[in-house]
Structure 1
Amino acid sequence: MSETETEILSHDFYTRERWNNWINQVKESGFEFKESDEPQDKDSAVFINMEDDIILACLKVVAKFDKKLISAESALRLISQIKDIALEEIDHISDDIDMMISSMQTSLIGTFAAFECYIKEDFNKKARIPTLLKQALEAEAAENIEIALDKVAQIGALIINGRKLPDEILEDIPFGFVAEWMDGIDSIAAAMMGSDSYKNDEADDES
């Protein structure tokens, strides 16, 4: 028997305790930037996993919305609750860790905007991703940050809707907000290419 909307909303899709557990893991990692040519994938894995955990929670919300088990209003409220937790200001840990968390949170701004855009159906399903990216970069160059974020959100909504993110599209983006937001969109694409168990998964009752 399927859950009612009230039952679904009583579950925790993401909790502050879960976020604090990740912050503790970050502290324990003792992450530092190293001046070497060696990749730091192992050292930075905790930040990647932390971001993926948030994205999967959002994908679970969207899965409930897609199945019409919850309304758009409820889905947006759940995404907003996750966003409030993930974007809260973090007390100083270390300069390097603070920088990594700040970068991740900037990426997540693009991620959350994409989920909101998808749920609101505020995007053109026939739009071309390269065109939207060009418009985002032009808006950022003109310091129209809200427009830039809106264009990135539309790209993310297309990805959530099933569009593939072109492999080469992230290669030549100049560093800036759009580049960081697009990292968040890339993380959505990567999460959706992995296991699709989130589509049938329940909200998390434990952290």
Structure 2
Amino acid sequence: MPEKEMNQVPSEFYTQKRWENWLGRAKESGFQIKESEEEAGKESAIFVNMVDDVILACLKFTARFEKGMLSREKALEILAEIRDIVLSEVEPISEDIDLMIDSIQTSLMGALVAFECYIMGDYDEGSNIEELVKAAIDAESSDNLELALDYTAQCGAIVLKGKSLPEEVMAELPYGIVAEWLDGIDSISAAMVGSDSYKEFDEEDDEDAA
């Protein structure tokens, strides 16, 4: 397919306005970490949905890339645009909400590097995810976060290829940045299992639905 035709798909898979709408909802939620577990669960759903919305947008353009509707260069360009939107510094709202937003941005970083690794093809499909997770944790404990992120990205790329994160390993993850990055990978896995509607992208899709 000629590149001119290849990239004739909507370029705005995710917008600044969409992200700001989510931040507005987070502010309106009045979320407080010290609330009762039931109330906190209800209030924190907004943050889960924020992550899922970004991941769904990434799955949509990645599916176009897989079908040859987007060049690798264009897919990476869209990914960079999304990264710039969702990882940019957010104006302080409240201590508890700021903590949650910081946490979801860390999770999204793990997810975004996974999409980049997948699109670039910088992974071995036959790699053992469990070993990659352990290597990422070891790298974090050695303060080599760049290497830890690379291993995390490879885990995510393999998940995008259709494999699952090992439940046992995930349940025993030590608290740290790798655990938060892998939470983003876990969100990719959940989104892929939840629905494959992202493969049927509608050009009339309301980008401001959030």
What TM-score comes out, normalization by structure 1 length? 0.94
Which residue in 1 is equivalent to 2:187? 187
Q: 2 CA distance for matches of 1:199 and 1:40?
A: 33
Which residue in 1 is equivalent to 2:23? 23
Larger mean CA deviation between 100-109 and 168-177 belongs to 168-177
RMSD over aligned CA atoms reads: 1.5
Letter in 1 for 2:157: A
Counting matched residue pairs gives: 204
How do 1:188-203 residues align onto structure 2 when only pairs under 5 Å count? 188-202=188-202
Asked if 2 retains the 8 angstrom alpha-carbon contact of 1:136 and 1:148, the reply is yes
Q: 1 CA distance for matches of 2:120 and 2:165?
A: 21
1:13 aligns with 2:26: no
Q: 2 CA distance for matches of 1:80 and 1:37?
A: 36
1:60 aligns with 2:54: no
Q: 2 CA distance for matches of 1:199 and 1:35?
A: 39
How do 1:1-207 residues align onto structure 2 when only pairs under 5 Å count? 4-8=5-9, 10-34=10-34, 36-38=36-38, 40-202=40-202, 204-207=205-208
How much does 1:36 deviate?
4.3
Q: 1 CA distance for matches of 2:77 and 2:169?
A: 31
Asked if 2 retains the 8 angstrom alpha-carbon contact of 1:133 and 1:151, the reply is yes
Asked if 1 retains the 8 angstrom alpha-carbon contact of 2:136 and 2:148, the reply is yes
Asked if 2 retains the 8 angstrom alpha-carbon contact of 1:110 and 1:181, the reply is yes
Asked if 1 retains the 8 angstrom alpha-carbon contact of 2:8 and 2:69, the reply is no
Q: 2 CA distance for matches of 1:163 and 1:77?
A: 26
Q: 2 CA distance for matches of 1:20 and 1:36?
A: 28
How much does 1:41 deviate?
1.9
Asked if 2 retains the 8 angstrom alpha-carbon contact of 1:110 and 1:149, the reply is yes
Asked if 2 retains the 8 angstrom alpha-carbon contact of 1:60 and 1:202, the reply is no
Asked if 1 retains the 8 angstrom alpha-carbon contact of 2:60 and 2:199, the reply is yes
How much does 1:169 deviate?
2.1
Q: 2 CA distance for matches of 1:202 and 1:84?
A: 24
Runs of 4+ in 1 over 4 A off after TM superposition: 35-39
How much does 1:195 deviate?
1.0
Identity across aligned pairs (percent)? Answer: 51
Q: 1 CA distance for matches of 2:100 and 2:196?
A: 28
Q: 1 CA distance for matches of 2:179 and 2:164?
A: 18
What TM-score comes out, normalization by structure 2 length? 0.93
Structure 1 alignment gaps of length 5 or more:
none
How much does 1:39 deviate?
6.6
Letter in 2 for 1:163: K
Letter in 1 for 2:68: K
Give per-residue Cα distances to partners, 1:93-150, cap 9 Å, x unaligned.
0000000000000011110000000000000000001100111111111111110000
Q: 2 CA distance for matches of 1:40 and 1:143?
A: 33
Other structure's SS at 2:8 match = helix
